[in-house]
Structure formats: C-alpha cells, structure tokens
Amino acid sequence: MKILFIGDIMGRAGREALEVYLPELRRDLMPDVIIVNGENAAHGKGITEKICKQIHDLGADCITSGNHIWDQREIIPYIARDARLLRPANFPPGTPGNGLCRLELQDGRIIVIVNLMARLFMDPLDDPFALLEEIVGEHKVGQNCQALFVDFHGEATSEKYSLAHHFDGRVSAVIGTHTHAPTADAHILPAGTAYMSDAGMTGDYDSVIGVRKDIAIHRFVRKMPGEPLIPASENKTLCGVYIVTDDRTGRAVSIEPVRLGDTLANTRPKA
C-alpha cells in the first residue's frame, strides 16, 4: 500500500502549498491513501469545516490533528459528522469525534489510521501506549487490515521513538507531528515499522515554526506579550513522508521524506 502523509498545515501558506503540490504528488506517486495533519490550517489555530472540505476536495482521505483541534469552536459540532477528521484518540471518553478511522479502499484493502497525542511537555491526556495496545489487539496488520498508520503528535522525540519501538512490527508506521521541523531520521525499524520523528510543517519556513519572525522574536527578546501569533505567509513549502507497505504483513517496505517548495532543500520520492 502506498501512503502519502502531509505534515502540519500552517495557515494560508500551508493551505496554498497543499493546493500547489498535492496534485503533483497524486499524479506522480499515485498513492492509495493520502493523510493530512490539518490542526493549524485555520490561521495557525485549529481547523474549520470549510477548510476540512477544501482539504478533502484536494484528495485527502483522512485529516489528523493534535492539541489545537478545538481552537476553532465551530469544529466541535462538525467533527461528529466527519468520520475522516480525527482528534487524538487518547482524549478522555465522551470527547466529541473519533481518534481512529478504518478506511476501505476501492479494491477492498483496509487501512486503519490512528491519531494519538504524546504526554511529555504536552497536555496530560490518557496513556497513548495503553490505548494503542488496545487498538492493535483489535486491528492486526496482515490479518484484518493491510496497514495501520499512527500520527503521534508530540514534543519529545524520546516519547515518539519509545512508542514506535514498543509497537515495532505491530503497526505499519509511526510518524511524529507537532514540532513543525522535519527530521532526518526516516527509516524502518527492525521489525518493519516505518518511523520519522517529525514529518515537518507545510507552510512558510522563513518564520519561527510558521509564525512571523518579528512577532516571535519580540516575545523572546522583550519577555512580554506583543502581537498575536500570526502565521507567516510569503513562502510556501510542503513537507511530509511517503511510505510503501507490504499488504501481506502490513510492514513497511520503504519510507522517504517529502519536501517541496521555496525554502528547504527539495526532495521528491520516486514513484
């Protein structure tokens, strides 16, 4: 199965980068599944119903999120209606929406997409390790699903690596999001799980993790609040990862980073 995952969409620059580069990637790579983390798509703070529909229209099969999922309050009633928009599965029971999406492709293959949030330096949510243990007990790669993909939204690489190694061979991929900086550690773990600490941001990299430089710098230099954190919007770069898995086992065959745009060194996977 060919899986294309796009990292955190940050504001207008991120949405425009997605509009420019996703059609190219769909044409060249012909992925079976497209997953997009959209939690910062609405001016850097959450996501709206309109933006969700725009991302779906561009070809995204599933939209994941993270700690900013509730920043736009209108998403609360909408998330219950869109099964392909996920919030972290380890939010407390009773939280609106779902953290897991089981997609059946046109040819009958199944991929399970899981959105989890880490806890180190993050909000104290339920245990992501224990929850994923329950999920892999029900959804077994190579048996009742062909792939199981995890978007693990968190700060600490140690926590991301630990979850990936703990579930190595039982999930197809663990890809980190949240830090808005693409890492250089895309590889396949010993038992066959594809891993990357952070897929990176889709947005303007001539910035401070997507925020206008002047605003972010002022807060560090003056140590006092200034303007609201406004996303930078001049340059456009798409970041993500392209994974191919073995349908028989659910294990990864290859993983390659994706970087296309104005600021970072570009890298485009081979079809």
- Cβ-count burial 187-223 (b if 16+ within 10 Å, e if not): ebbeebbbbbbbbbbbbbbebbbbbbeebbeeeeeee
Rg (CA), the chain: 17
Ramachandran class of 68: left when φ > 0, alpha when ψ lies in -120 to 50, beta otherwise: alpha
Helix (H, G, I), strand (E, B) or coil at 216: helix
Q: In the numeric block, which tokens belong to residue 83? A: 């099964």
Cβ–Cβ < 8 Å for 178, 155: yes
Q: Which of 56, 68, 178, 180 is catalytic?
A: 68
CB atoms under 10 Å from CB of 174, counted, come to 27
Reply yes or no on whether 68 is catalytic: yes
Catalytic residues: 68
